[in-house]
Structure formats: C-alpha cells, structure tokens
Chain A
Amino acid sequence: MEILVCVKRVPDTSENEIEVGSDGQDIDRDDLVYSVNEWDNYAVEEAIQIVDKVGGKVTVVTVGDDESEEVLRREMAMGANEGILLSDDAFESSDGKGIAAILKAAVEKGSYDLIMTGAQADAGAGQVGGMLAAMLDQPYASLVNSIEVIDDKKLKVGREIEGGNQEMNEIQMPCVLSIQTGINEPRYVGIRGIRKVASVDIPVLGASDLGIDSGSVGNAGASVKVQDYFVPVFGDGAEMLEGSTEEIIDKLIELLKAQGGLK
C-alpha cells in the first residue's frame, strides 16, 4: 500500500512558553524550539504499522521552509521511507485552503492508496484533511482512532464520537483520513534510525514543479487572514468555587437560588 502522510513543523509546547507577539498577528516565534506536530506523529506511526503488515511504502510530505526538512528527516528516522518538501516563497502565509491545494498538487504527482493527516495542528483549525479530500474528490473520515485493512480496496476505520462512543466505518480507497492521537503509541526514534537518514537527500518541490499558480496560494491566494491574536483579559463577575465536590455543589445551588436561577 502506498501511503502519504502530511506532517507539519510546529512550536514544541514542552520546550516553549507560547506568547502572543507584540503586533498581535502571530505568536512570538523568536527563539522557539520546534518539533513535529503531535497528531502527525500518530499518523506516521499508523502508516508504518500498516506497511509493516501489508507491505508498501510510507512517504511523508510537508509544506514549509528549509527548516521544515528536519521534521521529514525525523519521521524518516522513525521509519517512513521517503520524504518530500514542498517549499516556495509563494507558499508563505497560505490559509488552510492554500495548504490543501499545494498538498493536492503533490498527491497528484504520485499514486497513493491512502492519505493521512493529523486531526489538527498548532493552529487548531483541523481543516486541511477535509479540504484535501474534497479537492481530490476522495472519501474522507475525520478523527480516526483505529484502522484495519480489509483488502487492497477497503479499510475499516473507527471514529470517536460524542460521549466516548465508537463508530465503525468501511471506507473505499483511495481516501483521506485525519488521525486522532491515541490511535497507537508512536515509537521513539533511536540513533540507528537517525544515522540511516543522515545523508539522504530529500527532494524539494516548488510552485512550478507542482504546476501551481503562485497567485492562488500563499498570502496572495489566502481568503482567510488572521486579524488579531490576544489573550482574553479576565473579566469581573467570575467566581471560583472551592472545596470538595459536595461543598461546591451546595454553594452553587445557594448562588443559583440567590440570583433567581433556581426557584
């Protein structure tokens, strides 16, 4: 099975205190330590496990700058077979649709049975997987937490739904899945894996390689633009109830009664 996993380089929350920059347009990116988006890591692990079982190849792809190459190399050290870096000045400041369009162009250069993305990344929008599926006109399942290969045409995928319940689906390949954390336990990368990929060349594809019109992606093509980031100020009128659960419930009932919410 040919599997493509879309990954992203994001600020590492275990290493950084994330703060909003002074202009409010972005977080403060000075001096940040980056790593691979956590959800993507689960997706890559799942892909490796599938290929271990049924054979095939795992390719990891990312849209980013030169430095994003490091997350591809990292996922290859983990066990992905190939990496592709999609990089071009024209890609900068793409919105979700722009990223999906760039990825679509890359998908069409190969022949993949299965495409995986993380359920979401640092921006929390969770949109790229769905948009990519739509652009490719492929079936899509989101928040996938289990995958079973039925045959070379079909997968059985589980999704977590409301209240911790589970939904099982059969899905035709080729398809796009967005992967939820917890689907597996991603392996750690050891030194042997790192040494294996130390001097592998990772191909870089730009807008013209992908046949993308520069005006349709990046800042130029973005129809969603961040206006402002801010940390909400603490308002008045909020009160933290403290004590044991029983005490809190009693106080809450008292308050509700006092304010006329409970008669």
Chain B
Amino acid sequence: MAQFIADRRDVDFVLHDQFGVSNLSKHEKFAEFNKKTVDLIVNEARNLAIKEILPTRKIGDEVGVKFENGQITVPEEFKKAWEIYKEGEWLAMPEDLEYGGQGMPRLLSMAANDYFNGANYAFMMYPGLTHGAGKLVEEFGTEKQKKLFLKKMYTGEWTGTMLLTEAEAGSDVGLLTTSAKKNDDGTYSITGAKIFISSGEHDMSDNIIHPVLARIEDAPAGTKGISLFLVPKYRVNDDGSMGEFNDVVCTGIEEKLGIHGNSTCSLTLGGKGECIGTLLGEENKGMRAMFLMMNEARLLVGLQGFSCATSAYLYALNYARERIQGKNLLQMMDKDAPAVPIINHPDVRRMLITMKAYVEGMRSLLYYVAYLDDLIVVSDNDDEKERLHGLIDILIPIAKGYVTDRSFEVCSHAMQVYGGYGYIKEYPVEQLLRDCRITMIYEGTNGIQAMDLLGRKLGMKKGKLVMDLMVEIQKTITKAKGVAGLEEYAAKIEASVNKLGEVAMHLGKTAMSEKVLSAFAFASPFLEAAGDVILSWMLLWRAAAAAPQIEKKPKDASFYKGQVKSLEFFASSVIPISMGKMDAILNTNGAAVDIEDASFGG
C-alpha cells in the first residue's frame, strides 16, 4: 500500500464482487458502463485524486482560506486541482447528460467520490455543494431557471451552496427569520443573515448560486411557512450572461477545528435592499424540497466522515508495520529479544482489526445506499421502486449518523496506533481526526439523525420500512448459512437482527406512551445498535462473497480471508456488546430524563 486514501482492492471488491456494478449496464440507461469503463473510471478518479487533490490536503489545512475586504481566497494550489477536476467533468457524474452530467450509476460515482473525498474532502465540499444545489434546480426549477443555471453548475463554472442556518435557527430551521417580499415582476427581494455557510464565498468561480430558505411575508410561522429561493451572487441576465452584484455580502468566516480549506461564511442578504431571488418550487413548500434532497446530502456527509476513516486506517496500518517498539509478548523475558514492529502487539492488532471491520462495513453500506438508487432507475415496477425508496429512507440516518460516529472513532484509533506521533501535526492523522469531527454535526446533528430514525422512519408506512429492511438482511443470512465456515457468524447476526426487531417494537411503543421522553433518550443508542447490526449484515454479505473465492483465486486469498476475519471479529467481539446495548434500550431507564435540572450540578 503506497497511497493512503482507499484500498483499491476493497473498492473493486465492493463494486464487482458484492454489488456487481457492471450488471447495471444490461439496462439501456447504463449501457455504456460495462466493466472496462467502470475500471477506467475508477483508475482515473484515483489517478486525479492521488496526483492533484491529495497534495492539497495539508496545504488546505495549514494555509486555509483567507478573508480580506469581503473577499475570500482559497489556497492557490486548490485552483489547479479545481480546473482539472472540472475539465474531467467529475462534478455531476450521475446526472442527466442534457445538463452536463454523465449519466453514471450512483454506485460507480461513489467509488470515484471515495477517492476524491479521501484526498481532501474540505476541497471536495465546493463541488459537493454545487452538485446538491444543482440538484435542487433540476428537481424544482422552472425551465428558465434550469436553462440559466443548471449546466453552469453541473460543469462547475459556477458553484453552489445551501443557505439554511441562521444564528437562531440551527437544528430547528423553522425558526428562521430571513424574509422574502414579492416584487411586481414575480421575483422576490430577500433580506436576512445566514451563518455557517460552507463554500459561501471564494475565488474559484465567477458566480455563486445560493439556494436560500426564507419566509415570504405573512407566511405561516414554523416550517410550514418556509420557501426556497435561488439567489445568485451576481444576477443572471436572460441571455445567461452575468449582471449586477446581487447584494450577497460575506461578512466573515469562522475559525474552526478542521476543514480549514473550506470557507464557512456569514452572509448578509439584501443589506442594501438589493438582493433579488427567484422562487424555487412552490411557495411555502421549501422544507418539502429540502427533505427530498436531504437523503443525498446526508449520504455525502456520511462519505465525508468515512473518507477520513479509510485514510486514517491506511496510515495507521502502514505505521504499525514500520514502527519498531517493544518486544514480542512471547519473548518478553528474553533480554536479547529484538524490538518488533508494533503490528505484532495484540493490542495494536485489536485496534487495526476494529478499524478494518468498520471501514469495510461502512464502505459497503455507503455504496449500497447509492446502489439502491440505481436499482430504482433500472426497475420498471412501481411497488419495487417504492420499496427501494423505503430502504434508502431508513438507511440514511445510519449512513449519516452511525457512519460519522464510527468514522471519528476510527480516526481516534488511528491516532492511538501512532502513539504520541499521532497527536503531532507532522503526521497526518491528527488532521483527519479534526476534519472528521464536523460530519457528526452538520447536515442534521447525529442526535437529529437518531430522532429521525426513531420518530419518523420507524413508524413510516406502519413499520413497513423496517420490515422490508429485515427481509433484505434475512436474505443475506440465509445465503451465508449455506457458505462453509460462516454458519456460526450468520447465526449470531441472525440473533442480533431478531433482537433489533424486538427493540424497535419496544421503543416504538414506548415513544407512544407516557414514557415518550425516556424513549427519545434512547434514540441515539438505538441508532447505534441498529447501525451495529446493519454493519454486521454488510460484513456477512462481504464474507459470503469472499469465502468461496479463497480457494479459487489463490492470488487474492489473503484479501478474501481478511473478509472472513472481519466478520468473525465483528460477530464475535462487537455484536455481543450490541446485544448488551439492546438490553439497555429494552430497559429504557429514565435517569437521563428524570434527573432534575439542578441535579446536573455546575
């Protein structure tokens, strides 16, 4: 392993052995994306990520973005990477060709994004947000809005953002006060102040297109009165050329723990009364539009967190092989015994296999959610499409909340493997740990993810989503039980799935009872337990794909054996703990809720 982003063997395994990405090319929509094309795309994404984007990671951290006179500059090195990235047309991989996309399966775009984000996700937030903003225009824009904005956004000529947060409106967007006043020509004058806006201002593109949540005058309070507007930094004339400055002023940037390469801006809209926006979608339906886009945004944040974890694992693994320290435990008494690479120490191996199992399981989970989207595209059955949508809906809080929680832990393990050097800036893992941390907070904090799982997803369609998910998991269990050597692990995972079903029922019921607050105090533990079980499902799936190949492909035997070991470790050493977590949830102890505020002390 000479590069430190993602293990190519693992990326290929998930694409081909686990999900069979090239089977999608049997469908006319994806006909071009045969195995050869898939491999070329992964090769070239990797090539660009390693050669041009990875070198910007440390620079982005150390130089960071600079704010002067209302202008923000990104590190000079970002610009070259940005140009090449745009030229390669990587920004809107899965989108429609008509608007500058590439019509690629989402599963495949995940692999490319695995490399790009792993190389420097703070940099990748510029195109990432542009893609998301473009998606809003594509889904909700009028023909005119699409014509004026979409292609320029999907090709990266103009970048995009997402303006939700205000000082008084964070997790609860319903509290926002940015206002919109309808003008005679049908446009709206926007006034307000947004904070924490990623990529809100920078010098990598001529124009920045802001989708803005605001309240039209006299609209209802709360989320029901929120509308979505398209607000460019420079107005756009009907012929597509850029017009006057649109009174979107950056008043400052945040100094923060990580992702220094991305500008986190405070933006004042219409400070001079000259900020004009056009309605995107329908009046007062802004939140609905946001919800439709949220799955994709949350999956991306899951990938961001994960990209730190995969990279941190590879660095730690390499370090453990090279760092010589301490004798082999079996030769402790021999005063002449040589010091050995730390990978020989059982405690270091424990950390490595923990990281390995999580990284592999999380990669599979993230790719799987993207793959479900492709399955929707190739399905011609509406019930099936709806079922697949349901699976995505229920998996998103896991793919965001659980994955970013675990990713941060993986970064922490990596730091531990490095010992003191891990804490030092000269080595890469401290940056990865810092960069990773925000993914647990933005795009809906992980607490909000847990509430989404318990409060919304669990009860959707009378619990059908959970049932469909259980059926999917059971398919893998049944298959794995037929694979020699996996029976025992499949049985352990089956027991945990059954218990998770019981816990879900219990918590769902408790949430409807007078113990509702206690139930929600267990929303996060529930997300965690559900995540453990789903991760074990992914590892079981992987092992079932790998085990039969151990004999068949001796050249790759160590990789395939490693898959079975990840499963063995997780089923034997993590799932029992998850069973305990589930016992605690079944108990639904009320201490957290019942304790008097004053008793917290302080």
Contacts and interface: CB of A to CB of B under 8 A. Distances in A.
Interface of A: 13-17, 30-31, 33, 35, 70, 73-74, 77, 188-192, 194-195, 198-199
B89 A188 contact: no
A33 B3 CA distance: 12
A188 B1 contact: no
Contacts of A30: 555-556
Nearest to B34: A198
B104 A14 contact: no
A15 B46 CA distance: 10
A14 B1 CA distance: 8
A191 B87 CA distance: 9
Contacts of B102: 191-192, 195
A191 B3 contact: no
B41 A194 contact: yes
Interface string B245-270: 00000000000000000000000000
B44 A188 contact: yes
Interface string B23-57: 00000000011101101110110111011100000
A15 B87 CA distance: 24
A191 B43 contact: no
Nearest to B93: A191
Contact of B50 (A14, A73, A74, A198): A14
Contacts of B555: 30-31
Contact of A77 (B40, B84, B87, B90): B40
B40 A194 contact: yes
Contacts of A189: 40, 44, 47, 88
A77 B48 CA distance: 15
A263 B239 CA distance: 83
A73 B2 contact: no
Contacts of B559: 31
Interface string B79-110: 00000100111100100000000101000000
B8 interface: yes
Chain B interface main SS type:
helix
A194 B1 contact: no
A33 B8 contact: yes
B87 A190 contact: yes
B84 A188 contact: yes
A191 B41 contact: yes
Nearest to B12: A33
B2 A195 contact: no
Nearest to A195: B32
Contact of A14 (B2, B34, B36, B44): B2
B32 A198 contact: yes
A195 B37 contact: yes
Contacts of B2: 13-17
Given A31-B555, A191-B90, A191-B104, A15 B3 contact: yes
A73 B36 CA distance: 9
Nearest to B321: A17
Given A31-B555, A194-B40, A195-B32, A188 B48 contact: yes
Contact of B88 (A14, A16, A188): A188
B462 interface: no
B335 interface: no
Contacts of A17: 1-2
B36 A191 contact: no
B461 interface: no
B475 interface: no
B9 interface: yes
Given A14-B50, A188-B47, A190-B88, A198 B37 contact: yes
A189 B84 CA distance: 9
A13 B51 CA distance: 12
A208 B559 CA distance: 40
Nearest to B87: A190
Given A13-B2, A198-B32, A188 B50 contact: no
Contacts of B88: 188-191
Interface in B5-26: 8-9
A35 B47 contact: yes
Given A15-B2, A198-B34, A199-B32, A74 B8 contact: no
A74 B93 CA distance: 19
B40 A74 contact: yes
B1 A190 contact: no
Interface string B491-503: 0000000000000
Contacts of A190: 44, 87-90
A13 B50 CA distance: 12
Cβ-closest 10 pairs across A and B? A190-B88, A198-B37, A30-B555, A189-B44, A194-B40, A191-B102, A198-B32, A191-B89, A190-B89, A14-B3
10 contacts: A13-B2, A14-B3, A14-B50, A35-B43, A73-B40, A189-B88, A192-B102, A194-B41, A195-B37, A198-B37
- Of listed A188, A189, A190, A194, residue having the most chain B CB within 10 A: A194
A33 B44 CA distance: 13
Contacts of B90: 190-191
A2 B559 CA distance: 45
Contacts of B41: 191, 194
Contact of A70 (B40, B87, B89): B40
Contacts of A73: 36, 40
